[in-house]
Amino acid sequence: MSHQLRLATEADLAAIMELENVSFGNDSWSRPTMRAELMAPHTTYLVAHQDEKIVGYAGLSKVASSSSADIQTISVRDSHRRAGIGRELMQMLIEQASKLSATEIYLEVREDKPAPRKLYEQLGFERIDRRENYYQPDGVAAIVMRLAISTTAKSEPVVLGIETSCDETGIGIVRGTTLLANVISSSMDQHARFGGVVPEIAARAHLEALEATLQKALQDAGITIKDIDAVAVTNGPGLAGALMVGVGAAKALAVAIDKPIYAVNHLVAHVAVDVLERGKLETPTVALLVSGGHTSLLLVRDLLNDVELLGETIDDAAGEAFDKIARVLGLSYPGGPEIDKVAKNGDAKAIRFPRGLTLPKDQEKHLYNFSFSGLKTAVARHVELAESKGEQVSIADVAASFREAVVDVLVTKAINACQDNGVPRLILGGGVIANSRLRDVAEARCQEAGIELRIPVLSLCTDNGAMIASLAAQKIMAGMEPSKLDFGVYSTLPV
Amino acid sequence: MTQVLLAIDTSAGTAVAVLVDGVVKSESYDANSMQHAEQIGIQIQKGLEAAKKKSAEVTVVAVGVGPGPFTGLRVGIAAAKMFAEGISAPLIGVGSLDAIVFAQSLIEPTLVLTDARRSEVFFGLYQGKTAAGVPKSLIGPGVKKQAELEAQLQTAGHNYLLANSQVSAANLGLLALAQLAEGTANTSVVANYLRAPDAVPSKGKKVSG
């Protein structure tokens, strides 16, 4: 379904030439020139293929005696534009140039082609020259661009990520797509007697946990603070006072070690953990993020440039609903694991609790939105009504039926989002993913629908600093600029 | 070795100063009490630039531990902690009210009041200084309604001057140096909130009537 990249071989020559002629017309290279390029020891040619079909190719030239490299050519089939193929080809060639110790990469681009120029600019290339009448016979000028590798793209940057958006102080360290450390200090126990996260308690706990969490992360990664190439931090969405602790800490750390800082969106970062497990994120993907603070459905076409919020909860987050119902049932905090445990002995069909925002009348405005407050009220009423009649309430049945209602809505809407958008995969994130029933139902229904399901390990599902570092590392490897030092925190930061 | 002290206080606005061998080389103050997270990184960076020092040259970090409105206060302490970690320098916590009265003579009893919100004030009453110049506290720091505090001080027979209440990072830095000199510097840096978090365990209420 989706495209993949690999090194080109001589066997690809015919397909490449076909695409070359379509793309460049009377400006095309000849077949012997292309063969020589493909076979030369100083070149690296990649092809992007979907199934067996070649949909793009690109080449890099780097002579051993020179410190500079050249992008020789790049082309993506018309029908496969806007899928990020050109960007991926460029990124891999930049990475290759970096591995070959090039310090700069040059390319020429037609002056009359704004789209590729924009891509190159996003990747960090800068215009350095213009050559009149370069492309013949059209007489179009070439813009010469240069990327200085040492200052922008780095093949495997060591990034330290700080996450303080809710009740977990997370500091993680990655090297490129490799996880080096993921340390989490949770203030969950301090919130237990309040039945939910108290923002002021969370913020105080972050401040107290900072130093020890940082030291442990460095120790786990086996590096010193001098090895860090960049600092990343969540600047939203989340609890404002809690976010500010992380942002203040991250900014001062970045200034202290004189390294760039990247402000990162918490929700998008939840999706970015997949690159730590699989090396890259397969796109497009739908992401279902479910925690005590969020219930969101994202459509990710490109991790760095194209993430769309399809829907989110309009009242309680799913995790919050678990906490509140746990209290109604006399179970302890956090409610998710407790309800999960009790529900194992219950009948999920015993009580038909409402599925929020699933009625036809809700579909226009709330196709992918969630609502759990009505469900919460229905469960509480059920329990209170039974108690007032002096009836015995089966906590196991109520827990199982409640859990079923939550899971049913989450998975149904996530799969609808995949199918409606023609997306063949779903990734889960957030602490509620620990719920066994959610995992089981998601697995079964995804299999039924032919959707690939990704569930990261739990330590990467819950809020953590590694996901923040991972997303920033992706930005760095794509040559994206760091954040300016004056960014703020945004409790409702859009994706 | 040159001593370079970075001083930070966010108990009210955002205040940063750099002192080189006890001399104030740069000082900045942004009075906006809602911009700490935005301001802190830039002010530290610019403060060091103005003092012509690199971050790696900083030898000690001092931070105001409050009291002050919590959300802003934490930004400065978090920044100071991580800056100190980043360059492996010692960190000293200084009372923000102590820093405010540091520049006063303190011959007379002197009261300092800062905004604690919710119609209350953070307060401290000081008189006299140690040989090194560290203010001596008579009462506080504490938090109260201003009228209650005034009545209490009157009953106890205290006459006092009212100090200007703006904290200066330069004075905070000088006070930290005085505390270092006399061996009273506080290296265990904990925010001095003076109030417990506002949260009461919910009893749980009935949903149906």
pLDDT tens digits for range A29-55 = 999 999 999 999 999 999 999 988 999
Does residue B54 carry a pLDDT above 50? yes
Every domain of chain B and the residues it spans: 4-182
Closest-CA distance, A159 to chain B, in angstroms, reads 14
Facing residue for A198 by CB, picked from B70, B86, B199: B199
A270 closest CA partner among A92, A44, A104, A466: A466
| CB pair distance less than 8 Å for B70 and A328 | no
Strands, sheet with A68-76, edge to edge from the N-terminal-most edge strand: A3-7, A43-50, A53-61, A68-76, A104-110, A140-148, A126-135
Torsional sign, CA A40, A41, A44, A47:
positive
Compute the distance between CA of residue A127 and CA of residue A106 in angstroms, rounded to an integer.
Answer: 10
pLDDT value, residue A285: 97
DSSP state of A262: E
Q: How many CA atoms lie within 13 A of A416 on its CB side?
A: 15
pLDDT value, residue A152: 44
Identify the bridge partners of residue A71 per DSSP, sorted by sequence position: A60
Facing residue for A485 by CB, picked from B41, B48, B193: B41
Residue of chain B whose alpha carbon sits nearest to that of A377: B207
Compute the distance between CA of residue A113 and CA of residue A134 in angstroms, rounded to an integer.
Answer: 14
Closest-CA distance, B203 to chain A, in angstroms, reads 9
Q: Which residues of A259-276 are buried (b: 16+ CB within 10 A; e: fewer)?
A: bbbbbbbbbbbbbbbbbb
Q: Show the domains of chain A with their CATH numbers.
A: 4-148 (3.40.630.30), 154-495 (3.30.420.40)
pLDDT value, residue A296: 97
Cβ atoms within 10 Å of A135's Cβ, excluding its own: 18
Predicted-assembly ipTM surpassing the 0.85 threshold: yes
H/E segment holding residue B108: none
Q: Mutate which of A191, A244, A385 to disrupt the B interface (most B C-beta within 10 Å)?
A: A244
| CB pair distance less than 8 Å for B74 and A215 | no
DSSP state of A370: B
Output the six-digit token pair for A147.
């990327």
With contacts defined as CB-CB under 8 Å, which chain B residues touch A203?
70-71, 74
Closest-CA distance, A404 to chain B, in angstroms, reads 21
Helix, strand, or coil here: A281?
coil
| CB pair distance less than 8 Å for B190 and A485 | no
Does residue B205 carry a pLDDT above 80? no
Compute the distance between CA of residue B160 and CA of residue B155 in angstroms, rounded to an integer.
Answer: 13
pLDDT tens digits for range A185-210 = 999 999 998 988 999 999 999 999 99
pLDDT tens digits for range B87-110 = 999 999 999 999 999 999 999 999
With contacts defined as CB-CB under 8 Å, which chain A residues touch B169?
none
Residue of chain B whose alpha carbon sits nearest to that of A246: B78
pLDDT value, residue B199: 82
Compute the distance between CA of residue B122 and CA of residue A368 in angstroms, rounded to an integer.
Answer: 48
CA angle A340, A289, A431 (to 5 degrees): 40
With contacts defined as CB-CB under 8 Å, which chain B residues touch A194?
199-202
Residue of chain A whose alpha carbon sits nearest to that of B57: A256
Compute the distance between CA of residue B155 and CA of residue B133 in angstroms, rounded to an integer.
Answer: 30
Helix, strand, or coil here: A218?
helix
With contacts defined as CB-CB under 8 Å, which chain B residues touch A248?
10, 36-37, 40, 74-76, 78-79, 82
Q: Mutate which of A243, A253, A320 to disrupt the B interface (most B C-beta within 10 Å)?
A: A253
Closest-CA distance, B181 to chain A, in angstroms, reads 25
Domain B4-182 has CATH 3.40.50.150: no
Residue of chain B whose alpha carbon sits nearest to that of A328: B204
Strands, sheet with A306-312, edge to edge from the N-terminal-most edge strand: A306-312, A295-302, A285-290, A425-429, A452-454
Closest-CA distance, A251 to chain B, in angstroms, reads 5
Closest-CA distance, A246 to chain B, in angstroms, reads 7
No. of H helices and E strands in chain B?
5, 9
Q: Give me the residues of chain A with pLDDT under 70, please.
A: 1, 150-154
Whole-number average pLDDT of chain B: 94
CA B208 to chain centre: 49
DSSP state of A126: E
| CB pair distance less than 8 Å for A195 and B191 | no
pLDDT tens digits for range A223-251 = 999 999 999 999 999 999 999 999 999 99
Facing residue for A225 by CB, picked from B36, B86, B207: B86
Contacts of A391 (CB under 8 A, 6+ apart): none
B204 — pLDDT class (breaks 50, 70, 90): low
Distances in Å between the alpha carbon of B162 and those of A81, B108, B114, B149?
A: 70, 10, 11, 13
Compute the distance between CA of residue A182 and CA of residue A129 in angstroms, rounded to an integer.
Answer: 45
- Least confidently predicted of A55-69, A379-393, B165-179, B193-207: B193-207
CA angle A434, A436, A440 (to 5 degrees): 120
